[in-house]
Amino acid sequence: MSEKEEKEEEKYSPKVVLSTPVAVIIAGVIIAASVIATNMGLFGPKAPKTAESTGYKLQEYVNIAKEVGIKEKDFKSCLDTYDKSEIEKDMQDAQAIGVQGTPSFFIGRSSADGKIKGVWLAGAYPFDYFQSTIDGLLENDDQKILSKLAEADPSQPAPTSIDAILKEVSIDDDPILGDANAPITIVEFSDYECPFCQRAYTQTYPSIKSNYIDNGQVKFVFRDFPLTNIHTKAMDMAVSANCAKSLGGDSKYFEYHDKLFSIVRQ
């Protein structure tokens, strides 16, 4: 473009020059609009609330509650006022029958009084141990149960009587998954921060659920046994799950239960 053409272009190209005060006002309006749009989610999803951003130390559990459809205000109120005596009762009941670690499973025939005499699987046993125990109970075949348990530790004498290894345990008033009238009951004492409990949840629980709970043969009862001496978050996680039950019943409890066990351990 020639010098003459450039002058003509400038002549017919209007330029807006703002005074400093006007420029500052417009910039402020733009920034405010941007903040409002961001908070409304117009520029994408808002960042999740964290303990750091809210000052509330249990915010991660509140976030999970919102994911399963529980109101934040109600959940916080429950967390702040929850009576831990129910969790402590679970722990006392577990210790009374010899439980020292998690997970611990008791599998027995359901009864009208809510107490079962169960076969104790202490640890994250593979699914085939649950299968042989449940099938043995359903078929009244004690030997199927005993022979499989003998495989767990060949160095120990094999149990010779099913009655000798049964432990009486109550389902108490803890959350139940499955048909309340199922012929077999599994009671688990567990800790949400325990890596072995998480292994049982990811590797064994799905098969128990699909093969026995979903078809009405087994009801599953979850009782708390947070190992607070080694797991600093275990009690808070137990409280949060119980608040989900208080606010949404057993079905909401197990939605929350699944979320807690799905947290990636560091």
Backbone φ and ψ of 45, nearest 5°: -65, 145
Shared-domain flag, residues 151 and 127: yes
Last residue of a domain, one of 70, 97, 120: 70
Last residue of a domain, one of 40, 70, 100: 70
What are the tens digits of pLDDT across the range 145-179?
999 999 988 888 888 899 989 999 999 999 999 99
Residue 221 has pLDDT above 70, yes or no: yes
Distance of CA 8 to the CA centre of its chain: 72
Shared-domain flag, residues 153 and 215: yes
Residue 17 has pLDDT above 50, yes or no: no
Residue 238 has pLDDT above 80, yes or no: yes
Residue 55 has pLDDT above 90, yes or no: no
pLDDT reported for residue 21 = 52
- Structural domain of residue 9, as residue ranges? 3-70
Shared-domain flag, residues 89 and 62: no
pLDDT reported for residue 46 = 60
Distance (Å, whole) CA 5 – CA 32? 42
Structurally, the chain folds into a number of domains equal to 2
What are the tens digits of pLDDT across the range 67-99?
999 999 999 999 999 999 999 999 999 999 999
Shared-domain flag, residues 104 and 145: yes
Shared-domain flag, residues 62 and 160: no
Mean pLDDT, residues 191-204 taken together: 97
pLDDT reported for residue 264 = 75
Distance (Å, whole) CA 154 – CA 157? 7
Residue 190 has pLDDT above 60, yes or no: yes
What are the tens digits of pLDDT across the range 179-189?
999 999 999 99
Distance (Å, whole) CA 156 – CA 159? 9
**Half-sphere exposure of 93 toward its Cβ, with a 13 Å CA cutoff?**
25
Shared-domain flag, residues 39 and 154: no
